[in-house]
Structure formats: C-alpha cells, structure tokens
Structure 1
Amino acid sequence: MALSNTEQVAAAKANLDAFSELSGKVFEGVEKLVALNLQVVRSTLAEAQEKLTKAPGATDPQQWFVLQAGFTGPFTEKSLSYGRQVFDIASATQAELTQLAQAHYERYNGRVQTLVEEAAKNGPAGSEVAITAWKSVIAATTTLCESLQKTAQQAVQVAESNFDAITATASKAVRSNPEPAPVAEGAKR
C-alpha cells in the first residue's frame, strides 16, 4: 500500500509539529530553570555582600562565629527551597511532555486503527485472521503504553514523596540547630 505525496507531506508536517511542540516544552522548562538560577545567584550575591560588610565590625571571636553561623543556617534552608523548586519545574515539564506524548500517541493509534479498519473492508476473503491479529497487536500495544505511563507516574509520585520526606527532615534539623552555642569568655585565645 503506497502513500500519496499529499499523505507523506501531511505526515512529515505532523511529525515536525510534534517535534516543535515537544522541544518548546523542553525549552520552557530550561527557561524556568535559568530564571531560578539567576534569581538564586542574585540573592546569594546580595546576601554575601551584606554579610561581608558586617565582617570588619566583628571584633571578638564570638561575633565572628555568630557572623559565620549567619552564612550557614540560611544557606541550608535556601538550598532545600532551591532543590524543591528545581524538582517542581522538572516534574511540571515531565508532566507536560507526557501529556503531549500521550496526545500524539492517541492520534497515531487512531490513524493505525483506521488503516486496519480500511484494510478489513477492502481486504480479500480470508484476510480476517490477519486483521484480527493486527487488532490484537494494537490492543496489546495500547495496554503496554498505558501500563508504562502508570508506572512512570507512580515513580514520579514516589520520588516526590521521598524528596518531601528528606526536605522535611533536613528542614527540621536546621530549625533545631539554628546557631552554634556562644563561645564562653574564658575560651578566648
């Protein structure tokens, strides 16, 4: 069964549109990550500059240790927040790509089923066995794709719950030890 030039052009255009759609979603995710990274760098530099302007005012070791603690405590919380935002961006991008892939698969599957139905109508006598086999293959492929999609969604949910648990534990640990103990006056050298 040969395809006409019009059908080939339409198929090529559909493939190009699908590629453009998918790459557009990937670039949107990358843009979000770049914007997040720029925001983090900007705020980190501003905070570092603020802390460094206070450094010359630290006249004794206790003030110096308190100043250093000001660098590490918020850094841990911000790192956890950053990781969460990166995970959210990645999850959202993955969900959009999955949705696009599913839509394209359903369209393609519909075209294949139409092709098989047309072959069944126009096929020679005795081709019923082959048509039934094709329908069985299509059904098995659809079931496999649905199963893979469900498995991928479950893996993302498990990863997200694990990330939430790790973030909660780390955040709780940071909150329980916000600053180092002050240095005793007799401990100065």
Structure 2
Amino acid sequence: MFSIPEQFSNATKANFESQFALFSSLTNKAFEGVEKFVDLNLTAAKASLEETSSTAKQLLSAKDPQEFFALSAAQVQPAAEKSIAYGRHLASIATGTTAEFSKAAEAQITETNRKVISLVDEVSKNAPAGTENAVALFKSALGSANAGYEQFSKTAKQAAETLEANVNAAVNQFTSAVKAAPAK
C-alpha cells in the first residue's frame, strides 16, 4: 500500500513524462508539416522558374503584337489551374497536420483522464472516513469536465470539417469559373 503523497508524486511524474511525449510527438508532426510545405514551395518555385523562362522565350519570339497578346492570354488558364492545384495541395498538408495534432492530443487527454480517474479511485480507497462526499463531488466535477471537453472536441471537428468543405467549394467554384472563361 502506497501513501497518498507517494501516489501523487508517481502520478505527477507519469503525467510529466506523458506531456513530454506529447510535446515531442507534436513537435515531430509540426516539423513534418513544415517539411512538406517547404518541399511544395521548392517544387512550385522550380516549376514556376522553368515555365517563366519558357514563356519569356515564347513571348520574345512573337512576330507581332497580336501574336504576343495571344501567347500572353494563352498562359492565363494554365497559370490559374496551377494556382488551384497548389492551393489544394497546401490545404491537404494543413488538414493532414491538423488531423495528426488532434489525434495526438485526443489520445493524450484520454490517457491522462484515465490515469486521473484511476488515481482518484485509488486515493478514495485510502481516504479517511467522512470524505466520501468530497470524493464523489470531485468525481462528478471530473466527469463534467470530460463531457465538456468531448463536446468542445466534437464542435471543433465540425467547425474544421465545415471550413474544409467551404474551402473546397470555393476552389471548385474558382476552377469552374476558370474553365468556363473564354480563351482569348
């Protein structure tokens, strides 16, 4: 049988280790997201530089102003489509990173709650007589806090899904508008 201070000390140590593991995990996920973002931007910059060079050569080889303007106008739709593809890829990276953060945080909170409930149960077994009401009140408050977190988590997920759906709808509308625009 452990004393109550020992139980709290062990719980505090385990909680600290758990939080450090979560921090490490989130840091790794953040670096992975940044790495993907940097890779996307480097790839886009390289492709843009190559396309700009090619387009400049075409424009400089134009025989007259009409051909110059026709070549310029022909570049608008492909550029818009590439911008849309870039935006979708960027949104995909952001959504994936956010999902990984949420998943890691949820797992950590679930595990922490489980440990706290276990600690409270263990401590309540050794609690002095007459403290049953205080323990029950604490358990009730813990249950209410957990329910509040779950509701907040559901609402946050719904908000993220709505935002993602709105961004996708806007991108789809822009894509449709670009495709419907008359080529000049």
Q: Structure 2-normalised TM-score?
A: 0.91
Partner of 1:69: 73
Q: Aligned to 2:149, which of 128, 142, 145?
A: 145
Higher relative contact order (CA 8 A, sep 6+): 2
1:2 aligns with 2:20: no
Q: Match of 1:159, as an amino acid?
A: L
Q: Aligned to 1:107, which of 106, 111, 129?
A: 111
Partner of 2:87: 83
Tell me how far 1:65 sits from its aligned partner: 1.0
Secondary structure of the structure 1 residue equivalent to 2:101: helix
Q: Aligned to 2:32, which of 19, 28, 34?
A: 28
Instruction: Note if contact 1:29-1:89 (Cα within 8 Å) is conserved in structure 2.
Output: yes
Between Structure 1 and Structure 2, how many residues are aligned? 180
Tell me how far 1:10 sits from its aligned partner: 4.2
Instruction: Note if contact 2:59-2:72 (Cα within 8 Å) is conserved in structure 1.
Output: no
Partner of 1:162: 166
Tell me how far 1:149 sits from its aligned partner: 1.0
Structure 2 unmatched ranges of 5 or more: none
Q: Aligned to 1:175, which of 167, 171, 179?
A: 179
Distance 2:89 2:106 in 1: 26
1:46 aligns with 2:50: yes
Q: CA 1:11/1:143 → structure 2, altered by over 3 Å: closer, same or farther?
A: closer
Cα RMSD between the aligned structures? 1.8
Q: Percent identity?
A: 36
Q: Match of 2:100, as an amino acid?
A: E
Tell me how far 1:4 sits from its aligned partner: 7.5
Tell me how far 1:176 sits from its aligned partner: 1.2
